[in-house]
Structure 1
Amino acid sequence: MTTQVIPAIDLRQGRVVRLRQGDYAQQTNFDVDPAVLAGQYRDSGATWLHVVDLDGARDGGFANLAYIEAIAKAGLKLQAGGGVRDAAGIERLLGLGVARVVVGSIAVREPDTVSGWLARFGPERLTIALDTRWREGAWQLPHAGWTEQAGATLEVLAPLFAKAGAVHLLCTDIDRDGMMAGPNLALYQRLAALAPGLQVQASGGVRSAADVAAVAAAGIAGVIVGRALLQGSLALADAFVAAGGVEA
């Protein structure tokens, strides 16, 4: 199986940024137009792009729709989210050309609602985001841009969404996000055991082609790569080779 490499663009007030461990006070800005960057990733062989509206993720609603629409015109299949709180939000993003809408905070707060959306929109149009950090002996699930703590755990919600028909599950190890510390392979192997039917996307900590190769060797369906590409420690072409090739 070829692990799908998905470059990421995080947006805040229209700028390409990266946070450290989801901390909005630890932001690095990158001086590049998001639509131009998307085009560069496309020209390097990417077929999918992951886009996060960080303003929307924290505050709800959409703050970067115009930029997401511009990115969608770059010719990539777009997986995008941040701020989706209702079915109308899903319809709005799909209407802009987004191929898969990421639902995170509401998936943690209202899993039954999101299970209903899987039936309504189809599992190929949604990516469930369960971003997690290890606290008090469990994989906890912070939400609202990782600023609020929920009572739900990964061990409960991953099997629930698998049973509801979900196909795509994005999981970020928050403690490794933006830290260039390597991916948490044990977390993703645990997730595969919890819900073996899900196509898991690993996110957080990828820094090199060796990290991508390790994710692929673990049999994980996809890997999100953000800061390493922006900082130049990993070339997208090398990531594709490490993952076993380019997958449409």
Structure 2
Amino acid sequence: MTHDPPTDSDTGVISVPDDGPFTVYPAIDVRDGAVVRLLKGDYEQETRYTDNPVAVAENYARSGAAWLHLVDLDAARAGGYTLGSTLTRIVETTGLQVQTGGGVRSEDDVQRLLDAGATRVVVGSLAVHEPETVAQWLHRFGPERITVALDTRIGPDGTWMLPTAGWTSVGEQELTATLHRYQGSGLRHVLCTDIGRDGTLSGPNFHLYTMLTRSNPALDVQASGGARSVDDVRTARKHGCAGIILGKALLEGRFTVAEAVREESV
């Protein structure tokens, strides 16, 4: 006799038992020095919250966060990471471990961010276009120092494609095929954003993350895009994710970092 795998009553997605640590990553996206959120990655649909990203990071640290996800939106589109001094201040004043990226194009860029205090460097566009290069970085710096960001948008044929350059370039690479190119590289940390849900507060795409975690069990997948509640944090863990990025929901007070962090050890 066979039995159907369990599904979550709210999402209809196959549940993957969580068997490892889970991390909450409060996110700070910075553009022109201000903390902002974009809607679905559109630079023309921006909401500004404050001109003091360090103060936001300090608040998250006081609320119990251990990690921060810091994004340089200007650099993501144009290249050339600009938040080095902000990164260093955040690390020195909060003690947070910081995962950060935007415009990382070379090995020197990776080293510069690590020297400025980053715990992990996020590589996006180059990870899509030059996986062999990023595989070399994984070998040099180690898999705990690199996060590959594969931000995706579903195409008309149902295929998950990978826009680049701060999501402004349409892209011709496909999600699962790109991940396949990293086999044997030592890649561990993958951040996957459903662009269509980013900044919408419509809930994460758990179908996407269940597909990724079931087909790539050796990877620690971070869910990103659409989180709106503590229930979304709980469900991300239930469906096999190793972490979740929390942006707009925290900035707009939908729930607190302290409430989210409690789900790390449940």
- TM-score where L is the length of structure 1: 0.95
Match of 1:76 among 96, 99, 111: 96
Match of 2:141 among 121, 125, 129: 121
**Partner deviation per Cα, 1:90-132 (whole Å, 9 max, x = no partner):** 0100010100000000001111111111111111100000000
The ranges of structure 1 where at least 4 consecutive aligned residues each deviate by more than 4 angstroms after the TM superposition are none
Alignment match, 1:31: 50
> Percent identity, aligned pairs only?
49
Match of 1:50 among 50, 69, 86: 69
Alignment of 1:1-248 (within 5 A): 1-73=20-92, 74-135=94-155, 136-245=157-266
In 1, the alpha carbon distance for the partners of 2:209 and 2:151 equals 12
Paired residue secondary structure (2:77):
helix
In 1, the alpha carbon distance for the partners of 2:215 and 2:237 equals 19
Asked if structure 2 preserves the Cα contact closer than 8 Å seen for 1:188 and 1:202, the reply is yes
Amino acid at match of 1:42: A
The answer for unaligned runs of 5 or more in structure 2 is 1-19
In 2, the alpha carbon distance for the partners of 1:196 and 1:18 equals 31
Paired residue secondary structure (2:263):
helix
Asked if structure 1 preserves the Cα contact closer than 8 Å seen for 2:234 and 2:263, the reply is yes
Provide closer, same or farther for how the CA distance between residues 175 and 131 of structure 1 changes in structure 2, counting only shifts above 3 A.
same
Residue 64 (structure 1) shift? 2.7
The structure that is helix-richer by fraction is 1
Asked if structure 2 preserves the Cα contact closer than 8 Å seen for 1:133 and 1:175, the reply is yes
Residue 33 (structure 1) shift? 1.2
Number of residue pairs aligned between Structure 1 and Structure 2: 245
Asked if structure 2 preserves the Cα contact closer than 8 Å seen for 1:109 and 1:150, the reply is no
Paired residue secondary structure (1:178):
coil
The answer for unaligned runs of 5 or more in structure 1 is none
Residue 241 (structure 1) shift? 2.4
User: In angstroms, what is the RMSD of aligned CA positions?
Assistant: 1.2
In 2, the alpha carbon distance for the partners of 1:123 and 1:242 equals 25
Asked if structure 2 preserves the Cα contact closer than 8 Å seen for 1:208 and 1:234, the reply is yes
In 2, the alpha carbon distance for the partners of 1:19 and 1:91 equals 28
Amino acid at match of 2:210: Q
User: For structure 1, which segment, 94-103 or 235-244, has the greater mean C-alpha deviation from structure 2 after superposition?
Assistant: 235-244
Asked if structure 2 preserves the Cα contact closer than 8 Å seen for 1:210 and 1:242, the reply is no
Structure having the higher Rg: 2
Provide closer, same or farther for how the CA distance between residues 78 and 162 of structure 1 changes in structure 2, counting only shifts above 3 A.
farther
User: For structure 1, which segment, 52-61 or 144-153, has the greater mean C-alpha deviation from structure 2 after superposition?
Assistant: 144-153
Asked if structure 1 preserves the Cα contact closer than 8 Å seen for 2:33 and 2:51, the reply is no
